[in-house]
Structures are given as structure tokens and as C-alpha cells.
Amino acid sequence: MLKIFIERPVLSTVISVIIVLLGVLGLLQLPIAQYPDISPPTVQVSASYAGANADVVLKSVLVPLEEQINGVEGMTYMTSSATNEGAGSIQVYFNVGTDPDQAAVDVQNRVASATSLLPQEVTLAGVTVRKQQSSNLLIFALYSDNPAYDQTFLQNYAQINIVPQIKRVNGVGNSNAFGSRDYAMRVWLKPDVMAIYGLTPADISAALADQNVEAAPGKFGENSDQSFQYVIKYTGKLVSVEQFENIILKSNGQGQLLHLKDVARLELGAQAYSSNSATFGKPSVGISVNQTPGSNAREVIENSLAVLKEAEKSFPAGIHYTNLVNINDFLDASIDKVIHTLLECFALVFLVIFIFLQDFRSTIIHGVSVPVSIIGTFFFLKVFGYSINLLTLFALVLAIGIVVDDAIVVVEAVHAKLEGGYTSPRKAAIDAMNEITGAILSITLVMAAVFLPVTFISGSVGVFYKQFGITLAVAILISAVNALTLCPALAALFLKPPHHEGEAKEGEAAEAKDSQENPDPKAAKDSKDPKEASKKKGFMQRFSIAFNAAYDALVGKYTKAVTFLSARKWVSLIAVAGFGAGLYFLMTTTPSSFVPNEDMGTIFVNVSLPPASTLERTTAVNTEVDSLIRTIPAVRGTLRITGQNFLAGQGSAYGMVIVRLKPWDERKKASNEDVIKQITKLTAHIRAGDIRSISQPTITGFGATGGFTFQLQDKGGHTTAEFFKVAQDFLAELNKRPEIQYASTAFNPGFPQYQLTVNVAKVKAAGLTEKDVLNAMQVYYGGSYASNFNQFGKQYRVMVQADTSYRANPEGLSKVFVRNADGVMAPLTEFVTLTRIYGPESLSRFNLFTSISVNGSPKEGSSSGEALIAIQEVAQKLPAGYGYEFSGISREEEGSGKQSLYIFALSLVFVYLLLSAQYESYILPFAVLLSIPIGLCGTYLFAKIFGIDNNIYLQISVIMLIGLLAKNAILIIEFSLARRRDDGMEIMEAALEGAKARLRPILMTSFAFVFGLMPLLFASGAGANGNKSIGAGAIGGMLFGTLVGVFFIPVLFVVFEGLQERISGPPKTKEQLEKEETEGGPPAKDGEPKPENKPQDKPQPEPAVA
């Protein structure tokens, strides 16, 4: 059947051209991303309760919502947090692969059922449900040189003129500004003045509701006999400060009016003043952009920056922007690095092929066939819904070293036929394909089977394995199609017999004949001088002679070594068992991690001051940190934000600095870890707060920081103080472990607070209710959302609150009054008392239990896997009623370890079953399987030498190596088995014959693979750690499997083929089977003449033409 592709080369080339065209079409439409969408879909529920503390928000808002949301379809876990700013949020995490839109709808339905259980103030402000996008692609800062433009102006300018346009960019999931500086009409009340006029906050709210309204008065002349019709318009809601100031509160009927401006100070201010930010030391606002699942990250960023560039043309004088986080920087740098590696891999692979074959025509065949497999893969990536990302590109780099294997096997087989005496390349190609087609199919099936189990892995780890494994499997399958169609056709067209290539050769032959007929002693002497003879030959001829001589010597020594080992089978089997034991030792002692940490070009510096520090005090410290960081040469820019950080959340005592580093090629000697050390050194003298620098995580969507994360849980209803004491003891023990650099929590119950107690008896005696007193406190001190107004095409809030001087300290409470039943204004101090207490700034829950979040980092030299084991061991000593759960990337890593072991086992099982079917034996496949641990020892040995953890990249290379190492064994065993079963050779002789015949293609494919991956092993810059993980694992395994494994594969064949024949008897040769079919009966019995197996009965190569 395959003969048709050799006889019809146009058909073969057309198949390849179609594959390439489909691949190009797929390439043009594939989205580009840093990684596939591996983070779990997340839905965020947000609510605001003005004036409430964290405990109130938790109990009255979060608990009712959580009770309803818990158990929504596809949910894996849920976290929530409440702050003293009155903010509450819930993050609901779903299984990977869940439709985020449907998840948001399901959560929204659950939230709707809980609305009636929430306080009225919360429902008035609104409970929002939205998809939480997996990652920020872009963070830029808008900053001002002009003192007239403060942070409030900048944020609202961005929200009005920039953010809406960015949200319309195709692929943008959301765009948000850091902080809550949206415009608001601030009504700053004067409680003592209000008391003089007998007013309460309820009167202010009533006046706003009465005079700041929209109305629909109707029309004149509608449905009448009038000639004209007129619309009646009302002035509508108020829009300016002056209009709000003139709201009438009271009138005495004699023309004297009391306006709102008489009892309050009004301004167009900000909705909240809980944070501030600066860039290059100037007022600024940070804005983030994230993408929708499946969109093209590169295009989203480029189009968003194009919008920003266009908007810059109309910026007010003194306003500028700068990028702080741009995933394209890392994406471009890392993808460029991988593309360079692809090109280097191509060049090195073809150089190895040329060295072994010394034939340019043969090298061209590989140069044509390999791109077909690589380019064609893009079509199937499009079909499977994948993207061009680091994983698929890594897979294609490895694929170059793999897909060239089939082409090498074909070309080398045809080449061997031509060197063996064939004069017709077409006949050589046909006969060679008859011999190696089975081996190619076996190798292809085994390689594809190795990656089949990865499709059953679930979760984020499964996405890694699937995209990497399926990309490789597709490239291998296309390579097999090429090997059976294009390669033999090109070999028949391009390859020529080595001794019949033109007149020069014929002249040399004639000269040799003449010298034999007319011997000349001097000429004979000259001919015996190799130095003189080599001078007459070209460089390539001399190289070819030297290489082939060295190779022949190598084959001779290799044959002797195999013979030696085959004669001592038990020694060889003990050695193989030793490699298996060594593999187990190396696997269990190699530190594990999820993915290697990469230099992403961004650092987050978290600043935490003592509890109850004001925003102004935190700003001063944060500004000093920011100024010091900007002196580091490797730093390109910073964004300082006060009022929140990534470790502790929101609070006046917290701040952070987002640091953007210069491009990798401009700071080759300063990695992100080096910069972190510089920041630590520069800020060591600052004693006012705790300063901690963290690299941007390699994989986004699992939290804003790297390292490990887990949640301590209170499952017994203990007090906050008891829970914190247990947490402190736990962290003290954990930080003693040698695997832990640090483990800490931002939770602190030591924030100074005041406990408000209402004297209910006095309240009742005054004709008031407890709610009257608490409502007054909430409006004056917490603020109240009283109404709305429209400006700049947007709707903003009207916020009512006591002016700053009245809220500065507890003494201001004496100026706050309530109106009793008799209409008399009574001070609040008559009804309430304040007690100084301590409590937390925020509260968190994890899966319905109160929790304390812990962040940390492994010590240098220890892996994240070792850190997780240390956490588990220390957690066993937790008291009863307490527990823990991993979260974020640590949760994925903890669940991935067991899956990888199952996948390795499944891959081996699939290989075994396929080989059993191929060889019609359940025993012989062990000759292949037992050779695999030899190479895998090299994988983990190289990992230890280069300091690489057992991460997903290394695990993927192990799965790939199972197939590649099996391929080497199959090449030898397939050939040896044919000589044994078809030609009746002795087992030992067949093993030696197979080892010698297949050593060249094994060395060619293995060295092509190894040298092709060398650039990965010595990579630097963006994505270097991932490159090294794959490079070290693949190179170490292939080197060991080739340089050591080839000596044991023939021995294993002798052992297991011999065992097979002891059970089932010697195999029937091809001649015996043919004779049995011809005669229609069984072979001759004992005592009857048996057909002789003469050498001339074997197929002979086509004789050379003289």
C-alpha cells in the first residue's frame, strides 16, 4: 500500500502541502497568551455597608450570602473578607472548565434569594455579582505634574474618558481604577449647628429626597384640539454644589429660610478617602486591564495601549501615563526566546544529521519534512481550541527533536540500502519501507499512547499536561504520516548511490584498474602514505573517512560490550534493577514544586505599619520606601498606593509599591531576586513598619503574590483572641522548620477600637428607640448614601457625614445630638458610652469557617513542595477544633502530586499493552519497559545537578521520555525480532545484528534531540527557569538512555525473548510459514527431512552494476 507514495511523489507532496496550508490558516487565527487559561473561574460578590465594622459586615452581610451561595453547581471552595471600611466581598471558585458566564448567573440567583436577609443600607447601595477575571494583562498609571489635578480628578478623568473606551476593546474583560475616588457630592454636617436648629440627619435625608428628584409632569395639548403640543420639563435632579447648598430645610413662613449650606459644608469630593497613590512621587491613579477567556492577550494589550495613546492627545496639560505591568513584555521576551530556540534547534538537528550521513541530499529531506510536522500542528491547536502560549511553544521545541526521528529512520534505512549495493533509489526506498514500516508504526503508537493518559487529568494541572502533551502527540502523528508518504518519496527522488555519481568516480575506478594492471612501485609507495592521500582529498572527504572510521571502531567496541553483557545476563539484570532502585531514590529525594518561579519583571513591595496608624502616617513611610526604590538602577518605574496592599488587604495602616523593572536585556546582571535583596537592604533602617518584597507570581489568577498560601480555620467557634493565639503558636513552630524562609499573617486583633454601649433605659425614658441613636451614629461617623446626582454623563452618590473636625476623636461625640419625643435636642453622650478595646482590622472566612490567611516562602534551596510537607507536618499538632486548607496555587500543587504518579503508571501500562499487541507477546514488552528507568535516572540526576525541582515541566519531560526511550528500544528489538522470527537467527545473533544495524539511527536521533535542546538548558532572561527545567530533564534522560541504555537493550531482548520461547516454543520462520501455507499442513515432524536454511534462500540485495 505504501508503495504508491513512492511511485507517485506528487501525491505525497500534495498531502504535505495541504497539511502546511491548514497549519498556516490555524496559525493566523490562534490567540496568543502567556499560559493557557488554567486558573479556576471565579465569581466575586461585593457589598458595602457604610459605617459598619468588620464584625457587623461579616455577621449581617457575608454570613447570609454565604449560606445561600454555598453548594452552587461546580463550586470548589469559597473565601470571604470583611473590613472596618464597611466593605465585604466573597470569592467563589469553580472547577476548571466551568462556563464563567453560567457560574455568574448561578451565583446571582443564589444572591437574589438572600437579598431580603440583608440590611436595608446594603440593598440600597447594591450587591454586585461579576466574573473575576483571571489576570491583569496591563496596569498603567495616570499621573500629573500640574498641582491643580489631584488624585480625585485623575481617577474621575480616567473613569470618564479612558476606562469606558478600553472596556470596548475586543477581548477586554474588565478595567478598573485602584481606589474609591469616584466623584460624590459630600455633605459635611455640623452637628452642633444642626442641634441649634433642632435638626437631625433624618431631616437632611428627607430634604434631599424631597428636593433632589426627577419628575415626569407630562405634556400640554396632547389629544386635544390645540394646534401645538408642548412637553413639560422639570429641572430634575440637582447637579452643582450651589444647587445643593440652596436646598431648603426650614421656613418660618415670613420669608426666612434655612438652607443646607447653613448647617453643612458641601463640596464635589470623593466617595471615599481611604487610599491615595503616586507615581514618580506625583499624584496618580492606577488602572488595570484584564482579558476574557480565549482572547488574544497580545492584541488586547496592543489595542488597549492604542486607545491610551489616542486619548493622550487630549490630556489636560501636565497629565501623563506610564506602564507599570505589561504582560506583553514577558510574553514577547519569552516567546522570542522560544522562537530563537526553535531556529537554533533546527540548525543543530540538521548539523547532527549531516555529520552522521555526510550527505547534503539526505539533510534536505529532513529540512523539508520537519517543518511540515511543526506547521501542521497549528491547525489542530485551532481545532482543539488551544492558543499559542509558552506550553505549546515548548512542546514544539521538543517536537523538532522528536519528529525528526521518523525522517531519520527512513532516510538512514534507504541510505543503508544504497551503500549496501542498491543502484535504484526507488527500489531501495521500497525495500527499506517494507522493513521499517512496522517500527515506525510501533514508535508512533507508543509515543501517542504515552500522551493519551494526560487527557484524563483534571484541574489546572490537567490543562498543563493536555496542551503540552496533545501538541506533542499531534506533531508526532503528522511526523508519522510524513515518514510513510513524503520522506520515502523524497528519498527515492533525491538520494543517489554513493559510488555511481558521475564521471569523476568512473575516472577514479579506471585509474585504480590501470594501476592494478601496470603496477608502479613509486606510485604504490605513495598510495600507502595516508598523509599524502589525504592531501589530495577535500575537507568533506577527509572528514567522512575519519568519521566513518571512528564510527566503525565504535560499533566494534559496542558489539564487544553487548556480547560481554549478554554472556553475563544476571549481572546485566542486577544492573538494570539498580537503575530502577536509583530512579526511585532520585524521584523521592528530588524536591517538588508546581511551576518554576520566573523573573516576570514586576515586584510588589508590601508595607505594614502598627495597628491604627493613620493614612497620613502610612503615606509618609510608603513615600520614603518609594523614593529609595527609585534609586535602584534596574528599576524603570513605580506606583505607590497607600490604604491597601496585596498581603493584608485594605486599611489605613497598609501600603504597597508596584515596581516595574527595566527590560531583561538592560539588566542582565540584576534579576528580580537581586532587586528584592537591594530593596531589603535599602529599607532595613526603616523601623516604623514591616516591609516585605514579593515577586509577581509566574501564573496569575491564583493570587497576587508568589510563595505558598493556606488558611487556618476555626471550626470550634472560639474567640478571636483564642484563635490568634493558636495561629501565633503554629507560625512560631512553622518558622523553625529549615524548609521555611518565612511564614506570616497580616491578621492582627490588636487594632485599637471603641466598644459602643447604648443605655436602653435612658433611651426609652427620652421617648427614643435604640435604632434612633444608632442611625445618628452611623450617619455622623460612618456616612450615609442619601441620594444621587448626574454629572459628566454619569450618576454619582450624595454622601452625608459629619465634618472632619467632629470625627477627629471621641470628644467630638459631645457635639452630636438626637431629638427626643418632646422635640428637645439631647446630646448622644447621655445615651451611649465608649470603652477602649482591641480588635481586628478585617475578618475572613474560608468555606464557611472563620479563617486566618497565611503567606510564606520556601527557604532558598528548598522547594515549594518541601514547604507544603512541612506545613502538613506542623499542622498535625493543631489543637482540636482547628484545621487548615491550602488555597491559591498551593491548593493546585498539593493536589497535583498524586495525579502525576498515576499518569506515569498509566503511560507505562498503555505502552505495555500496545507493544504486547505489536509483538504478540505479554513477555517481550518488558525488554522495552525495563530499559526506560535507565534513561529516567539521567533526568532526575540532571535535575539535581542543575538545582531543578520536580515541577510540572520536568514531569512532562518524563512522560515524553517514556516514549522516546521506548523508541530506542523498539528500533533494536523490532529489527532483532524480525531476524529471529523471519530468518531463524539465534537469539544472541539476532540481538547483536539489531544492535549494530540500529545504532546509527539511534545515535542520530538521540544526538539530534540532545543538541537541539541545548539552548534551553543554558537559557537566560524571561522564561529561563521553565526552559532549564524542560531542557535538563529531556537532555539528561536522553543522554543516559542513549549512552547507557543501548548496552542493556539487546541483553533484555535476549532474556525476555528466550523466556517467551521457553513458554511458547521457538517461533516459525518465514520460510516455514510459507511452506506450511503451500503444503496445507504442518511442518515436517522429527525424522523427516527439514528444509535447509541456506544463505542463498534469504532475500539478496540488488547487485551493483559494474
Residues 240, 376, single domain; the answer is no
Question: In 3D, which of 626, 631, 661 has the Cα closest to residue 642?
Answer: 626
Beta strands in 783-925 (DSSP E): 784-791, 794-802, 817-819, 825-827, 832-839, 842-846, 849-858, 882-886
Four-residue CA torsion sign, 666, 671, 674, 676 = positive
Domain boundary among 449, 478, 500: 500
Provide mean pLDDT across the span 954-983: 80
Do 922 and 1039 lie in a common domain?
yes
pLDDT value at 244 more than 90: yes
Is the confidence at residue 530, as pLDDT, over 50? no
Residues 770 and 871 grouped into a single domain = no
Residue 970 buriedness (CB in 10 A; 0-12 / 13-18 / 19+): buried
- Same-domain check for residues 965 and 1042: yes
Q: Give the Cα separation of 22 and 157 in Å (integer).
A: 47
Number of CB atoms found within 10 A of residue 721's CB: 12
- Count other Cβ atoms within 10 Å, centred on residue 669: 6
Q: How big is the CA angle at 226 (ends 222 and 231), to the nearest 5 degrees?
A: 40
pLDDT, greater one: 985 or 871 = 871
How does DSSP classify residue 950?
B
824 and 885 in a single domain? The answer is no
Provide the pairing of β-strand 172-177 with 740-744. unpaired
Instruction: Write the pLDDT tens digit of every residue in 27-40.
Output: 888 887 777 777 77
675: which 3 cell numbers?
A: 532587586
On average, the pLDDT of the chain sits at: 81
What is the structure's pLDDT at 512? 44
- Residue 1084 confidence (pLDDT) above 80: no
Can you list the positions of beta strands (E) in 112-247?
A: 128-132, 136-144, 172-177, 183-189, 218-220, 230-232
Please give the pLDDT value at position 499.
Answer: 53
Q: Label the pairing between strands 794-802 and 784-791.
A: antiparallel
Give the 3-state DSSP-derived string for 338-387, with helices as H, strands as E and coil as C: HHHHHHHHHHHHHHHHHHHHCCHHHHHHHHHHHHHHHHHHHHHHHHCCCC
Does 926 fall in a domain?
A: yes
Collapsing DSSP to helix, strand or coil, 10 comes out as: helix
Question: At how many degrees (to 10) do helices 9-29 and 459-484 cross?
Answer: 160
Per-residue model confidence (pLDDT) at position 899:
66
Specify if 523 maps to a domain. no
Tell me how far CA of residue 373 lies from CA of 18, 316, 389, 440, 874, in angstroms. Answer: 12, 54, 18, 15, 51
The number of domains in the chain is 5
The domain spanning residue 764 has which CATH number?
3.30.2090.10
CA distance 831 to 840: 26
Q: 832 and 758 in contact (C-beta within 8 Å)?
A: yes
- Alpha-carbon distance values, 716 to 54, 711, 851 (Å): 20, 15, 12
Q: Are 744 and 658 within one domain?
A: yes
User: What's residue 242's pLDDT?
Assistant: 93
Average pLDDT over residues 922-927: 86
Q: Which domain holds residue 476?
A: 1-15+358-500
pLDDT tens column, 992-1040: 888 887 787 788 778 877 877 787 777 776 777 777 888 888 888 888 8
The residue ranking higher by pLDDT, 128 or 339, is 128
Evaluate if residue 639 carries a pLDDT over 50.
yes
> DSSP letter at 904?
H
CA end-to-end span of the chain = 32
Distances (CA, A) of 1080 to 330, 981, 1077: 71, 20, 5
Residue appearing with cell numbers 526506498: 429
pLDDT value of residue 663: 83
pLDDT value of residue 422? 75
Count the alpha carbons within 13 Å of 205 in the hemisphere toward its beta carbon. 14
Give me the pLDDT at residue 583, please: 87
Answer whether residue 514 shows pLDDT above 60: no
Map grid coordinates 489542530 to a residue: 380
> Measured between alpha carbons, how far is residue 356 from residues 362, 408, 956, 1005 in Å?
10, 10, 29, 10
Neighbours of 1005 (CB within 10 A): 30
Which residue from 510, 497, 679 is spatially nearest to 603, judged by alpha carbons? Answer: 679
Please name which of 691, 689, 694 lies closest in space to residue 705, comparing C-alpha atoms: 694
Among 133, 152, 169, the domain boundary falls at: 133
Q: Would residue 352 count as lying in a domain? A: no
Q: 109: Cβ–Cβ under 8 A, 6 or more apart, which residues?
A: none
Identify the helix (H) or strand (E) that includes residue 464.
helix 459-484
- Are 188 and 803 a contacting pair, CB within 8 Å? yes
- Assess whether pLDDT exceeds 80 at residue 57: yes
Which among 707, 615, 607, 618 is positioned nearest to 657, based on CA atoms?
607
Query: Using an 8 Å Cβ cutoff, are 831 and 818 in contact?
Result: yes
Please return the burial class of 823, using the count of CB atoms within 10 Å of its CB with bins 0-12, 13-18 and 19+.
Answer: exposed
To the nearest 10 degrees (0 to 180), the angle between helices 1024-1043 and 952-981 is 20
In a domain, 51, yes or no: yes
Residue 329 confidence (pLDDT): 79
Q: Quick check: 127 and 45 in contact, CB under 8 A?
A: yes
Q: Number of C-alpha atoms within 13 angstroms, CB side, residue 739?
A: 19
Arithmetic mean of pLDDT, 1079-1101: 48
- Determine the pLDDT at residue 294: 60
- Confidence class of residue 265 from pLDDT cuts 50, 70 and 90? very high
CB distance 733 to 592 below 8 Å: no
Q: Could you count the other beta carbons within 10 Å of the beta carbon of residue 515?
A: 13
Q: In this structure, what C-alpha cell is assigned to residue 979?
A: 531476524
Closest CA to 90 of 69, 116, 105: 69
Within-domain flag for 388: yes
Is 296 domain-assigned? no
Residue with grid cell 491597601, as numbered in its chain: 644
Q: How far apart are CA 66 and CA 589, in angstroms?
A: 42
Handedness of CA 457, 459, 465, 466 (dihedral sign): positive
Q: Residue 680 and residue 673: Cα distance in Å, rounded?
A: 11
Q: If you average pLDDT over residues 796-804, what whole number do you get?
A: 92
Residues 867 and 967 in one domain: no
pLDDT over threshold 80, residue 446 = no
pLDDT at 808 over 70: yes
Dihedral sign of CA atoms 848, 91, 55, 841 in order: positive
Task: Please indicate, yes or no, whether residues 871 and 922 belong to a single structural domain of this protein.
Answer: no
pLDDT at 860 > cutoff 80: no
**Pairing, β 75-83 against β 842-846:** antiparallel
In a domain, 347, yes or no: no
Cβ 90 vs Cβ 45: under 8 Å:
yes
pLDDT bucket at 460, cuts 50 / 70 / 90: confident
| CATH number of the domain where residue 458 is located | 1.20.1640.10
Return d(Cα 30, Cα 392) in angstroms, integer. 12
- 666: number of Cβ within 10 Å: 11
Residue 1077 has a pLDDT of 63
Question: Over the stretch 726-743, which tens digit does the pLDDT of each residue have?
Answer: 999 999 988 888 888 888
Once rounded to an integer, what is the mean pLDDT over residues 773-789?
89
Helices within 946-1023 (DSSP H only) = 952-981, 987-1017
All cell numbers assigned to 726: 493558636
Q: What is the DSSP string of 585-616?
A: HHHHHS-B-SS-----SEEEEEEEPSTT--HH
Q: Is the pLDDT of residue 509 over 50?
A: no
Does residue 163 have a pLDDT over 70?
A: yes
**Same domain for 643 and 730?**
yes
Burial class of residue 539 in the structure, from the number of CB atoms within 10 Å of its CB (0-12 exposed, 13-18 middle, 19+ buried) = exposed
CB 344 within 8 A of CB 1015: yes
How confident is the model over 89-110, as pLDDT tens digits? 998 988 877 888 888 899 999 9
Rounded percentage of the chain residues whose pLDDT exceeds 70:
89
Q: How far is CA 165 from CA 170, 310, 314, 354, 886, in A?
A: 11, 11, 14, 56, 39
CATH of residue 83's domain is 3.30.70.1430
Rounded to 5 degrees, φ, ψ at 318 are 100, -5
Quick one: 479 and 559 in the same domain?
Answer: no
**Closest Cα partner for 470 from 382, 394, 395, 379?**
395
Rounded CA-CA distance 288/961 in Å is 42
Task: Tell me the three cell numbers of residue 611.
Answer: 495597628
Q: Does residue 461 sit in the same domain as residue 577?
A: no
Cβ-based neighbours of 503, under 8 Å, separated by 6 or more? none
Bridge partner residues of 836 (DSSP): 754
Q: What is the pTM of this model?
A: 0.74
Tell whether 460 and 566 lie within a shared domain.
no
CA–CA dist 470, 821 (Å, integer): 77
| DSSP-derived pairing of the beta strands 849-858 and 708-714 | antiparallel
Lowest mean pLDDT among 220-229, 502-511, 1049-1058: 502-511
- Answer whether residue 161 is part of any domain: no
Give the model confidence (pLDDT) of 126-142 as tens digits: 888 888 765 678 888 88
Sign of the four-CA dihedral 392, 393, 398, 400: positive
User: For the chain, how big is the Rg over CA atoms in Å?
Assistant: 39
CA–CA separation, 460 and 467 (whole Å): 11
pLDDT in the model for residue 174: 81
pLDDT of 500: 44
- Backbone angles phi and psi of 48, in degrees to 5: -135, 130
